[in-house]
């Protein structure tokens, strides 16, 4: 079993900016993996490109640091051929909701059994502060000097509407809460989305830790909230839009598990041939005598 | 000039949706079942209904390597077929047509009219839909081939339907047969079954590639539909459950290629295939496969471009593109099957090469290969091997000291003499490897990959695989006369092989000796073999299906030779043997 200490490479220390929200996510995930009792050999992590992706160097796990926006299909290829592995994907908001938006949409509807964690800092960090798909409307950045014109992507709402079977939002400033979200997401059978508000202390001077602390509340504190109710989850997801100017009492941001369908039909459930890792099919040439029959003359 | 009596060339034409291809393929199967060798060519526009479709079939007692230009019999299911194709019918050739479609007087005098009331006979047999079956019967009647084998094929074709469906079709075929026999009892081609032929296969290129991938132990196939690769997706999906393969129709080609790299990371033999436009989307992840040293196989089946181009036609214009695709420099292997036999063998070999070299391998085909069928000798299954290279699939990485660094840590990208490192799969104890799209150090760390010394070591390590590749990739193949005895040596790649072999056979009958060098592995380019071949031949030519001479440019760049002549075709049509033979006679 892995311990949180095992999960640090040691050779390399995180290079994130001091105070970066990624540190909280890093700690919460290490602790979640330790508490779930996962073995090193059964866990695979996949990263996209962005500040979050530099974590590939810091986690002492087997994994793949892929391309900008493409971590989900890369992870899908692993998950669909290695049923013996637990797959955790980390992506950023520009990475996963922007360039990778198409893969996000289809991964959700596929219900591949894997966990997707999105580092949502509402800005492009690694490329120095341009607006991201989750940047607030009217936010001014070097790529939007007049302010963002579009509405931000609502990842929780999109996922709920698109039939996701586990949708949660976390906050990097609340590590114990985030850790519990991670554990439930990893244990969930099916596609799990954990969108994590992870303030960028260098480029996003608006959506800061204190900004969030003044506005967030926990879904589980709502009376009678049932995460199996998709309509309620969608309704709750629509309360997440916020604008730069909104005062704490005007805009409240829920975190927690919005939706959880414990009995979902996963993509892997539709593949009875996945009774063993697919690499075992290539131990020797496959007998194709039967497959040749229709072509024999 | 009439064909030799042992060979029939027939074209069936009509409007899309008439069942031209299905009818033609039934005829091909019938001939092949009776021991003849067949080759077919389906031509169709990118439409589901409407437009002009034709199906060209060659049946012979000798091996056939390609289609040919002239035909002996033209079966017209509409007027347009006569208008477009009468010029290619040999003098004295037969034109089968429905006198209700056009007046027999419009059939050129040099041809034999075989009027068969297709519609009336089909109605008589049970429905207008059977017009194509009447025409099939008429084709057999013209050449005096027994009708019973077609009856057997029809019964097999309609086995799942009510018995009267097959019987009505047989009645339709018989009506056409009798009418044609009466109109044309003494046609110059009289074709007979060739009993005793060894078991063979009748496959198109995509089926051959699919069978090669299955034999290789493929576990994952991902694709987005694109002509002419789509039928390979259908083939793999049809075998998904029985063979135990995971097949995914993805949201786009970007996802397909990334999924394939992910599957390969897990140790699975994985492949995707597309055409040039789809490959454009895959190129980013193709480069990732290069830097992450992923063992993947990519089929690129080309058609005329750029952009959407001519979706259902053929061209060999993506050679340079495939060889150079993706930014930066990394080793790759590009294999180009010339026919369906090559397609099977090169595909299973592609999986071995990808594993042995831990780098992407491209199978470069084209529409002419993908879409068309050919009888080939039964595949030699005993020849198929699985070579997984430096792979640690299970157990403990500590049992493989060669994979470890001095401190006992597993090094995914360990610098080795041949450029290939030991690949430990996820799940192997102690092997916490990091595969990386970034430049990286021996452990896979991107943060350290930007050190100059690390960059040099890794970049050079990867490129050393090309030297290993040179030793293990399939060498060029030679056909026809030995180059030193030939009047001309032709260098070519891919499906130009078939028409060129046919041309060589034709020219040999006229005393012209042709040597052919088929460059099977385009990358790494076999410079020495090409140079030796060109030095040995008295005159040389490069024949290729593109405008700019992409193969010739590789010959000049790598073999440092200049051919005496060149022939290019880029109108969407494959070379015909006649065209190559004319070219050779012109340049000699």
Q: What pLDDT score was predicted for residue A240?
A: 66
> How far apart (Å, rounded) are the C-alpha atoms in residues B410 and B402?
9
- Compute φ and ψ for B57, nearest 5 degrees: -130, 135
Q: Is the pLDDT of residue B1 over 60?
A: no
The arithmetic mean of pLDDT across residues A53-80, rounded, is 96
> How far apart (Å, rounded) are the C-alpha atoms in residues B559 and A46?
43
The string of pLDDT tens digits covering residues B161-174 is 998 999 999 999 99
> How far apart (Å, rounded) are the C-alpha atoms in residues A156 and A150?
17
Q: Which of residues 134-173 of A touch B (CB under 8 A)?
A: none
> How far apart (Å, rounded) are the C-alpha atoms in residues A160 and A235?
10
Chain B residues near residue A296 by CB distance under 8 angstroms = 199-201, 378
The arithmetic mean of pLDDT across residues B362-382, rounded, is 97
Transcribe B131-151 into DSSP letters. HHHHHHHHHHHHHT--SHHHH
Contact criterion met (CB below 8 Å) for A80 and A274: yes
The arithmetic mean of pLDDT across residues A107-134, rounded, is 96
Of A242-251, B23-32, B355-364, B526-535, which range is least confident?
A242-251
Q: End-to-end distance of chain B based on CA atoms, in angstroms?
A: 23
Q: Which residue has 């993706």 as its token pair?
A: B326
The string of pLDDT tens digits covering residues B48-93 is 777 889 999 999 999 999 999 999 999 999 999 999 999 999 999 9
What pairing do the DSSP bridges indicate for beta strands B361-366 and B296-302? parallel
A74 closest CA partner among B148, B356, B294:
B294
The string of pLDDT tens digits covering residues B491-517 is 999 999 999 999 999 999 999 999 999
Q: Is the pLDDT of residue B426 over 70?
A: yes
Q: Which residue has 């180009």 as its token pair?
A: B336
Task: Report which DSSP code applies to A249.
Answer: T
Cβ A288–B215 below 8 Å, yes or no?
yes
The nearest CA of chain A is from the CA of B190 a distance in Å of: 22
Q: Which of residues 57-116 of A touch B (CB under 8 A)?
A: 57, 60-67, 70, 73-82, 84-85, 102-103, 105-106
Task: Report which DSSP code applies to B561.
Answer: -
The string of pLDDT tens digits covering residues B540-559 is 999 999 999 999 999 999 99
Contact criterion met (CB below 8 Å) for B510 and B534: no
> How far apart (Å, rounded) are the C-alpha atoms in residues B59 and B57?
7
Cα torsion B345, B351, B356, B360: sign:
positive
Residue A47: other Cβ atoms inside 10 A: 32
- B207 lies within 8 A of chain A by CB: yes
Torsion of CA B106, B109, B110, B116, to 10 degrees: 50
- B235 lies within 8 A of chain A by CB: no
- The first and second tokens of residue A46, run together, are 């996949």
Contact criterion met (CB below 8 Å) for B175 and B137: yes
Check whether the bond before B102 is cis (ω within 30° of 0): no
Contact criterion met (CB below 8 Å) for B284 and B253: no
Q: Which of B215, B220, B434 sits opposite A285 (nearest CB)?
A: B215
Torsion of CA B71, B75, B77, B83, to 10 degrees: 40
Strand order in the sheet with B89-97: B112-115, B89-97, B71-76, B7-15, B52-60, B37-43, B373-377, B200-204
Q: Which residues make Cβ contacts (< 8 Å) with residue A37, sequence separation at least 6?
A: A1
| Cα-to-chain-centroid distance, residue B553 | 23
User: Hey, which bits of B98-216 come out as E strands?
Assistant: 112-115, 200-204
Cβ B425–A290 below 8 Å, yes or no?
no
> How far apart (Å, rounded) are the C-alpha atoms in residues A181 and A185?
6
Q: What pLDDT score was predicted for residue A144?
A: 96
What is the band of A4 on the pLDDT scale with cuts at 50, 70, 90?
very high
Phi-psi region at B399: left, alpha or beta (left = phi > 0; alpha = psi -120 to 50)? alpha
- A270 lies within 8 A of chain B by CB: no
Q: Which residue has 């430049």 as its token pair?
A: B439
What pairing do the DSSP bridges indicate for beta strands B565-568 and B540-544? parallel
Q: What is the mean pLDDT of chain A?
A: 95
Q: Which of B32, B255, B284 sits opposite A103 (nearest CB)?
A: B255
Q: What pLDDT score was predicted for residue B342?
A: 98
Long-range residue pairs from B118-123, CB within 8 A, at least 24 positions apart, any chain: B118/B77, B118/B176, B121/B172, B121/B175, B121/B176, B121/B179, B122/B172
What is the band of A241 on the pLDDT scale with cuts at 50, 70, 90?
low
What is the band of A13 on the pLDDT scale with cuts at 50, 70, 90?
confident
Q: Which residue has 């698109």 as its token pair?
A: A162
> How far apart (Å, rounded) are the C-alpha atoms in residues B348 and B567?
32
CA dist list (Å): B77 to A108, B48, B104, B156, B359:
49, 17, 14, 24, 50
The string of pLDDT tens digits covering residues B189-230 is 999 999 999 999 999 999 999 999 999 999 999 999 999 999
B323 closest CA partner among B56, B68, B521:
B521
A67 closest CA partner among B321, B425, B281:
B281
Burial B448-470 (b: 16+ CB within 10 A, else e): bbeeeebeebbbebbebbbebbe
A7: closest chain B residue by CA:
B432
Q: Is the pLDDT of residue B447 over 60?
A: yes
Q: Which residue has 């299973």 as its token pair?
A: B348
Q: Which residue has 């994979």 as its token pair?
A: B403
According to DSSP, the residues that pair with A43 across neighbouring strands are: A86
CA dist list (Å): A245 to A203, A242, B5, B489:
18, 8, 88, 77
The nearest CA of chain A is from the CA of B216 a distance in Å of: 5
- The first and second tokens of residue A96, run together, are 């996963």
ipTM of the prediction greater than 0.85, yes or no:
yes
The nearest CA of chain A is from the CA of B351 a distance in Å of: 10
> How far apart (Å, rounded) are the C-alpha atoms in residues A36 and B113?
82
What is the band of A250 on the pLDDT scale with cuts at 50, 70, 90?
confident
Q: Is the pLDDT of residue B3 over 60?
A: no
Cα torsion A127, A128, A134, A140: sign:
negative
Q: What is the mean pLDDT of chain B?
A: 96
**Secondary element (H or E) of residue B374:** strand B373-377
What pairing do the DSSP bridges indicate for beta strands A216-218 and A253-260? parallel
The three state secondary structure string of A67-136 is CCCCHHHHHHHHHCCCCCCEEEEEEEHHHHHHHCHHHHHHHHHHCCCEEEEEEECCCCCCCCCCCCCCCC
The arithmetic mean of pLDDT across residues A122-131, rounded, is 94
B390 closest CA partner among B369, B419, B433, B350:
B419
Q: What pLDDT score was predicted for residue B2?
A: 43
- B272 lies within 8 A of chain A by CB: no
Q: End-to-end distance of chain A based on CA atoms, in angstroms?
A: 57
What is the band of B97 on the pLDDT scale with cuts at 50, 70, 90?
very high
Cβ A80–B242 below 8 Å, yes or no?
no
The arithmetic mean of pLDDT across residues B560-581, rounded, is 98
The nearest CA of chain A is from the CA of B264 a distance in Å of: 8
> How far apart (Å, rounded) are the C-alpha atoms in residues A211 and A208?
5
The nearest CA of chain A is from the CA of B111 a distance in Å of: 33
What is the band of A256 on the pLDDT scale with cuts at 50, 70, 90?
very high
Cβ B288–A66 below 8 Å, yes or no?
yes
Cβ A64–B434 below 8 Å, yes or no?
yes
Of B403 and B18, the structure prediction assigns the larger pLDDT to B403
- The first and second tokens of residue B207, run together, are 């089926």
> How far apart (Å, rounded) are the C-alpha atoms in residues A107 and B282?
18
The arithmetic mean of pLDDT across residues B240-254, rounded, is 97
- The first and second tokens of residue A227, run together, are 């995460």
The arithmetic mean of pLDDT across residues A99-127, rounded, is 97
């Amino acid at each position: 079993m892995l311990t949180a200490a095992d999960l640090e490479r040691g050779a390399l220390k995180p290079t994130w900016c001091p105070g970066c929200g990624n540190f909280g996510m890093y700690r919460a995930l290490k602790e979640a993996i330790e508490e779930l009792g996962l073995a090193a050999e059964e866990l695979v992590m996949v990263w996209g490109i962005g500040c979050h992706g530099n974590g590939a160097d810091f986690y002492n796990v087997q994994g793949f640091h892929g391309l900008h926006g493409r971590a989900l299909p890369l992870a899908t290829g692993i998950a669909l051929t290695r049923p013996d592995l637990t797959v955790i994907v980390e992506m950023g908001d520009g990475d996963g909701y922007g360039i990778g938006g198409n893969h996000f949409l289809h991964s959700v509807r596929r219900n591949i059994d894997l966990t997707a964690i999105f580092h949502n800092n509402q800005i492009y960090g690694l490329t120095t502060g341009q607006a991201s798909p989750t940047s607030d409307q009217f936010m001014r950045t070097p790529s939007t000097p007049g302010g963002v014109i579009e509405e931000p992507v609502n990842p929780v709402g999109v996922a709920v509407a698109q039939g996701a079977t586990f949708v949660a939002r976390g906050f990097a400033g609340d590590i114990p809460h985030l850790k519990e979200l991670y554990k439930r997401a990893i244990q969930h059978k099916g596609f799990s989305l954990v969108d994590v508000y992870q303030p960028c202390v260098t480029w996003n001077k608006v959506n800061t830790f204190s900004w969030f602390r003044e506005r967030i509340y926990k879904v589980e504190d709502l009376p009678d909230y049932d995460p199996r109710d998709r309509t309620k989850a969608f309704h709750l997801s629509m309360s997440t839009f916020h604008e730069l100017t909104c005062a704490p009492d005007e805009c409240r941001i829920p975190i927690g598990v919005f939706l959880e369908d414990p009995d979902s039909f996963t993509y892997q459930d539709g593949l009875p041939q996945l009774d063993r890792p697919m690499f075992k099919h290539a131990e020797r040439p496959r007998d194709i005598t039967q497959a040749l029959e229709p072509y024999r003359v | 000039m009439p064909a030799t009596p042992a060979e029939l060339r027939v074209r069936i034409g009509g409007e899309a949706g008439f069942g031209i291809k299905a009818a033609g393929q039934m005829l091909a199967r019938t001939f092949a079942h009776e021991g003849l060798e067949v080759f077919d060519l389906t031509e169709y526009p990118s439409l589901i209904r409407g437009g002009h479709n034709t199906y060209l079939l060659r049946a012979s007692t000798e091996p056939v390597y390609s289609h040919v230009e002239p035909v002996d019999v033209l079966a017209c299911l509409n007027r347009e077929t006569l208008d477009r194709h009468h010029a290619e019918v040999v003098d004295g050739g037969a034109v089968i047509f429905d006198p209700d479609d056009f007046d027999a007087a419009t059939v050129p005098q040099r041809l034999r009219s075989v009027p068969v009331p297709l519609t009336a006979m089909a109605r008589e047999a049970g429905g207008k839909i059977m017009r194509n079956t009447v025409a099939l019967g008429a084709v057999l009647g013209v050449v005096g081939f027994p009708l019973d084998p077609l009856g057997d094929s029809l019964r097999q074709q309609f086995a799942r339907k009510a018995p009267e469906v097959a019987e009505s079709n047989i009645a339709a075929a018989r009506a056409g047969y009798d009418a044609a026999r009466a109109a044309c009892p003494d046609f110059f081609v009289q074709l007979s079954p060739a009993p005793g032929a060894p078991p063979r296969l009748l496959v198109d290129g995509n089926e051959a590639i699919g069978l090669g991938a299955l034999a290789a132990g493929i576990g994952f196939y991902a694709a987005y539909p694109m002509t002419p690769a789509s039928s390979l997706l259908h083939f793999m999906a049809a075998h998904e459950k029985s063979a135990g393969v995971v097949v995914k129709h993805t949201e786009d080609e970007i996802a397909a290629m990334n999924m394939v790299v992910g599957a390969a990371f897990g140790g699975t033999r994985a492949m995707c295939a597309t055409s040039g436009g789809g490959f454009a989307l895959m190129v980013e992840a193709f480069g990732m496969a290069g830097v992450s040293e992923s063992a993947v196989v990519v089929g690129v089946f080309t058609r005329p471009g750029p952009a959407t181009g001519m979706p259902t036609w053929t061209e060999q214009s993506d050679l340079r593109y495939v060889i150079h695709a993706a930014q930066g420099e990394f080793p790759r292997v590009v294999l180009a099957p010339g026919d369906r036999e090559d397609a099977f063998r090169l595909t299973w070999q592609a999986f071995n090469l990808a594993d042995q070299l831990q780098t992407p391998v491209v199978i470069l085909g084209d529409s002419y290969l993908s879409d068309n069928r050919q009888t080939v000798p039964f595949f030699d299954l005993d020849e198929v091997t699985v070579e997984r290279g430096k792979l640690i699939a299970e157990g403990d990485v500590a049992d493989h000291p060669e994979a470890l660094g001095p401190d006992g840590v597993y090094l995914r990208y360990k610098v080795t003499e041949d450029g290939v490192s030991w690949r430990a799969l996820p799940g192997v104890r102690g092997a916490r490897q990091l595969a990386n799209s970034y430049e990286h150090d021996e452990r896979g760390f991107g943060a350290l990959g930007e050190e100059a010394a690390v960059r040099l070591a890794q970049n050079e390590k990867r490129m050393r695989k090309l030297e290993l590749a040179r030793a293990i990739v399939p060498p060029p193949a030679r056909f026809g006369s030995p180059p030193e005895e030939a009047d001309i040596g032709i260098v070519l790649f891919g499906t130009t092989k078939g028409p060129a072999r046919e041309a060589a056979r034709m020219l040999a009958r006229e005393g012209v000796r042709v040597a052919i060098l088929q460059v099977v592995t385009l990358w790494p380019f076999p410079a020495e073999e090409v140079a030796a071949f060109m030095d040995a031949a008295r005159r040389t030519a490069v024949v290729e299906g593109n405008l700019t001479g992409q193969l010739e440019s590789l010959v000049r760049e790598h073999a440092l030779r200049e051919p005496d002549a060149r022939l290019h075709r880029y109108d969407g049509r494959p070379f015909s043997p006649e065209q190559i033979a004319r070219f050779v006679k012109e340049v000699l």
